[in-house]
């Protein structure tokens, strides 16, 4: 039976590991925050090394890797931020007050509008008037 290869292959360069396969967001979503932060630090170290290689006239393969590493950093940060926001949504679900960024955006006018329940409320006087004087049903004789 053929074994599946890991999504990232490591090749040691000096004291840090270089990643050659592109990081996938679906692989990152299962990880804990500490693991993601560690991976982020590794990627940042790798990026700084690649930038040094660029200045000192490194190989073309290293120069093309800068873009891949930058995008990987962006992916890790995106996953961290999305999971953080998701956890906040779970925490504030059902609470009376929510942070502004978790509330629905809509437009200013829509946010200030009365909600469905408030719109449907009627005063005692209005209720009494409707009860005493219902709509009259009539038909016109042809």
What is the per-residue pLDDT across 108-133, written as a single tens digit (0 to 9) for each? 999 999 999 999 999 999 999 999 99
Q: Among residues 38, 27, 44, which one has the least CA distance to residue 79?
A: 27
Whether residue 74 has pLDDT greater than 70: yes
Alpha helices in the chain (DSSP H): 25-29, 33-55, 60-92, 108-112, 116-120, 124-132
Q: Where are the domains of the chain?
A: 30-93
pLDDT in tens, 4-20: 444 444 433 443 455 55
pLDDT at residue 120 in the model: 97
pLDDT at residue 19 in the model: 52
Taking the C-alpha atoms of residue 4 and residue 17, their distance in angstroms, rounded to an integer, is 21
pTM over 0.95: no
CATH 3.40.605.10 correct for 30-93: no
Angle of CA points 24, 68, 53, to nearest 5°: 145
């Amino acid at each position: 039976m053929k074994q599946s290869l890991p999504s990232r292959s490591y090749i040691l360069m000096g004291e840090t590991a270089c990643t050659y396969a592109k990081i996938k967001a679906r692989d990152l979503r299962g990880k804990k925050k500490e693991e993601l932060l560690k991976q982020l630090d590794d990627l940042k170290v790798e990026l700084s090394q690649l930038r040094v290689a660029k200045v000192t006239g490194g190989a073309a393969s290293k120069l093309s890797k800068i873009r891949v590493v930058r995008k990987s950093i962006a992916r890790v940060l995106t996953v961290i931020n999305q999971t953080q926001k998701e956890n906040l949504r779970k925490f504030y679900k059902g609470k009376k007050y929510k942070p502004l960024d978790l509330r629905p955006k809509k437009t200013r006018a829509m946010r200030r509008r009365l909600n469905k329940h408030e719109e449907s409320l009627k005063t005692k006087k209005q209720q009494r008037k409707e009860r005493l004087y219902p709509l009259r049903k009539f038909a016109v004789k042809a």
